Structure 1
Amino acid sequence: MAVDERSPSPVVPGAGPGGGTAAVVGVLSIAVFMSSLDLFIVNLAFPSIGEEYAGAELGALSWVLNAYTIVFAAVLVPAGRWADRVGRRRALVAGLAVFTVGSLLCGTAPGVGWLVAARAVQAVGAGVMVPASLSLLLAVVPPERRARALGSWSALGALGAALGPVIGGALVEIGWRWVFWVNLPVGVVAVVLALRLVPESRDLTRRSRPDLFGALLLALAVGLVAAALVEAPDWGWTSRGTLGLLVAAVLCAAALVVRSAGHPAPVLAPGLLRSRSFSGAGAASVLYYAAFGAFLLNTVEFLTQVWRFTPLEAGLAIAPGPLMVLPFARLVAPRLIPLLGGVGRVAALGCGLGAVGQGVWLLLLQAEPAYATHLLPAQLIGGAGVGLAIPSLLGAGSAGLPAADLGTGSGVLNMARQVGTVLGVAALVAALTVPAPDPLTALRHGIALTIAFFAAAAVVCLAVLVRPARPPVRR
């Protein structure tokens, strides 16, 4: 069943042969769970990968994560526009297939370079399937049930990211390649279910081709900034190499802005960005996911390098935080919106809880393992914050999106999340490699950086997202 998005409502009352709306939401949530899971599932595999690949350092291994995230971010918006044109279910199935093939290549990579390249293939698949899944969800679910469905979708995405180290830690005990091979059966099942249960949806009015060169400029801008942050501790913050990378990043970003202003299908859609709620949610998402990415990697490094936990023990130690996400996203956040006076304040509260959780950890941090009294409270507070912040940011950004821009808008919002993750991980690597008298001091620097990102996200939410949303202007 195809949907003509020129109609006033994109809602599809049915859900395809053999499935209801809940089943469709479940299938679509698999896509975001898988893509988010693979953002962080490799963290606990870093030591094992480094041992097999001639002891690669953290800076080099961070590109196994950053390559995925940068390509993911660059692909999202063009893929969203492509999905609007050719059919969102078709794009979802294609993305799932590419992601699954990329996972197979990651698991068979003979070296770090090959692994980074295979992660880029994975990211292309993820970048196609995520905006397609979100735009399909917005098209299928009736407006009165959309907030809860968005909460489930985004919560499962956050759960996937947070469970990455947990699942990764368990799989590394078998072998680090299983971190990627675990996606193969899930990907095959998701393709079959999507073809059986998910209805087709497309924008029949869209004719412009996605801006692939703009996507390349975006990838270069983000990648150059990440490279500068990773290499600056060794090269020097004022060295020619570091400054050259930053200048090149600024030039690529400027070229992207100029190109987007005149392109019929730009990566940065000016019409969407003129919406206060949309652009505010995007900016807050960049800062929040910078904190989220830095927090996860910093926690993994602390548990494995300072407390000397095994990968499985570290994964289990992180698990209580992710377990807080789904109930807070599904049950608590929707009830807080009317109580606090809007989704922006709920998002700010979630960001603030993230900062509080990290502050508690900073105060209690010690070299001797004391999980229940020192790390667990921070995990629980932070997990609650994730459950409040992520669906609220997504809800604030997608409120009022024109029907024909569902794929594009969701691509921009997800792009903001990936850009934030890249910058957060790169900034954390820079913080951890700054000379320090002991590993604990370096980790304190990482926690302070994370608190700053969370707090900045909360400020943006309060400054921008507490006012009533205005619908984006369609370009």
Structure 2
Amino acid sequence: MSEVEAETIDLVVEPDARPRSRVATATPRQVLAIVSVGICLANLDLFIVNVGLPNIAQEFRGASLEDLSWILNAYAIAYAALLVFFGRLAERHSRNLSFLLGVALFTAASAACALSSSVEFLVVSRVAQAAGAALMTPTSIGLLLASFPPEQRAGAVRTWTAIGGLAAALGPLAGGVLVTFDWRWIFIVNVPIGVVALIIGWLKLPEVPGHDVPRPSSWAALLVTSGIGALTFAIVKANDWGWSSRGVVLGLAVATVSLAAFAWHCLRSRNPFVDPALFAVRPFTGASLVMAPYSAAFGAMLLSCALWEQTVWGWSALKTGLAIAPGPLMVRSPRCCLPAG
């Protein structure tokens, strides 16, 4: 994160969003440690399941690869679609309680994933996981900005970002280790971590009240979610049904109409779901244009490598995780500034 971006973030911290006094309130460093647990859980689950997918397929033998891919797609789509919506919604409420609610939802959903008896139930549980992660992420950064003085916020956000990036990079390796015992451990491991984070967060996090802002549009959230979901569905099913099939064409049509309507909403609404003014900021626009194809290619690479190494080469999940780990670790930025105080 650049200094310009950090200064921009400082401007969005409302005066009434400063932490209030509370018994046993955490120091800024402790707040950073607590909220970093949340971002670690959220980012780890973006890639940790990749290595475990072949083992999941062995248990649910009737499921096709396309069906299994929704275990990954459902999380990514719901997380991306709900991130802005929950971030806007949480502005109206206590940041610390909203963060803890996100941790609780993610933890409960992780337990449900571990207990899944079908692919369908696992996919639904992954959507609930993503909802918890989408609530944890913006509220955690809100807690950071309210807890640190202005001159230390850039360093705090860099540290938070670096920790989340490291967690995502370690996902394949962690998945390989846990799948050695059982694929359900991929989700079980989140439960004790989440429970501990809940207890410490409840006792230590400062109270950061919300402020009076317009509610985000639920209709816009539905449009962007359905548009991305329909587009992903069409791409996943194109291999089986063909690009000219009725189902794929219908999915592409729904995606086009939904995303076009979402763009129209953002351009014309007085309370846009995503403010078009953001795209006037050149670093933001440039990062968005670069990260979109990069993330798609990076995610596809991780999944294809995990599947190929285990199903074609016959490697174990642990060996696969160890082989994949250097790549994600090398693309993570080493720049991390730990704030003082």
For the criterion TM > 0.5, the same-fold answer is yes
What amino acid sits opposite 2:159 in the alignment?
Answer: S
User: Which runs of 5 or more residues in structure 1 are unaligned?
Assistant: 332-475
Match of 1:312 among 318, 323, 328: 318
Residue in structure 1 matched with residue 166 of structure 2 by the alignment: 159
Change (3 A) 1:322 1:248: closer
For the 8 Å contact 1:38–1:161, the answer to whether it is kept is yes
For the 8 Å contact 1:11–1:141, the answer to whether it is kept is no
What amino acid sits opposite 2:139 in the alignment?
Answer: A
Match of 2:285 among 279, 289, 313: 279
Residue in structure 2 matched with residue 212 of structure 1 by the alignment: 218
Is 1:95 aligned with 2:97? no
CA deviations on 1:120-143 (whole Å, 9 max, x unpaired) are 111111111111112222232233
Change (3 A) 1:280 1:252: same
Change (3 A) 1:141 1:49: same
Secondary structure at the counterpart of residue 212 of structure 2: coil
Is 1:119 aligned with 2:126? yes
Match of 1:297 among 274, 299, 303: 303
* Number of equivalences: 326
Change (3 A) 1:226 1:129: same
What amino acid sits opposite 2:315 in the alignment?
Answer: F
Change (3 A) 1:25 1:325: farther
Match of 2:227 among 201, 207, 221: 221
For the 8 Å contact 1:39–1:161, the answer to whether it is kept is yes
1:191-340 aligned within 5 A: 191-206=198-213, 208-324=214-330, 328-330=334-336
Secondary structure at the counterpart of residue 274 of structure 2: coil
| Greater RCO (Cα-Cα under 8 Å, separation 6 or more) | 2
Residue in structure 1 matched with residue 51 of structure 2 by the alignment: 44
Aligned partners of 1:326 and 1:296: how far apart in 2?
A: 15
TM-score, reference length from structure 1: 0.64
For the 8 Å contact 1:15–1:21, the answer to whether it is kept is no
CA deviations on 1:289-331 (whole Å, 9 max, x unpaired) are 2132122212212322343210011112223345556771327
Aligned partners of 2:268 and 2:200: how far apart in 1?
A: 40
Moved more, 299-308 or 78-87: 299-308
Change (3 A) 1:280 1:201: farther
Identity of aligned residues (%): 41
For the 8 Å contact 1:33–1:157, the answer to whether it is kept is yes
Aligned partners of 1:287 and 1:149: how far apart in 2?
A: 28
For the 8 Å contact 2:231–2:255, the answer to whether it is kept is yes
1:273-422 aligned within 5 A: 273-324=279-330, 328-330=334-336
CA deviations on 1:394-415 (whole Å, 9 max, x unpaired) are xxxxxxxxxxxxxxxxxxxxxx
Change (3 A) 1:23 1:116: same
Shift of 1:175: 1.2
Change (3 A) 1:327 1:78: closer
Quote the RMSD (CA, aligned, Å): 2.5
For the 8 Å contact 2:54–2:307, the answer to whether it is kept is no
Shift of 1:76: 0.9
Aligned partners of 1:264 and 1:33: how far apart in 2?
A: 35
Aligned partners of 2:188 and 2:271: how far apart in 1?
A: 36
1:126-145 aligned within 5 A: 126-145=133-152
Shift of 1:193: 2.2
Residue in structure 2 matched with residue 57 of structure 1 by the alignment: 64
Secondary structure at the counterpart of residue 328 of structure 1: coil
For the 8 Å contact 1:221–1:253, the answer to whether it is kept is yes
TM-score, reference length from structure 2: 0.87
User: Which runs of 5 or more residues in structure 2 are unaligned?
Assistant: 1-11
Change (3 A) 1:326 1:232: closer
CA deviations on 1:340-380 (whole Å, 9 max, x unpaired) are xxxxxxxxxxxxxxxxxxxxxxxxxxxxxxxxxxxxxxxxx
What amino acid sits opposite 1:300 in the alignment?
Answer: A
Match of 1:34 among 41, 51, 55: 41
For the 8 Å contact 1:15–1:140, the answer to whether it is kept is no
Residue in structure 1 matched with residue 155 of structure 2 by the alignment: 148
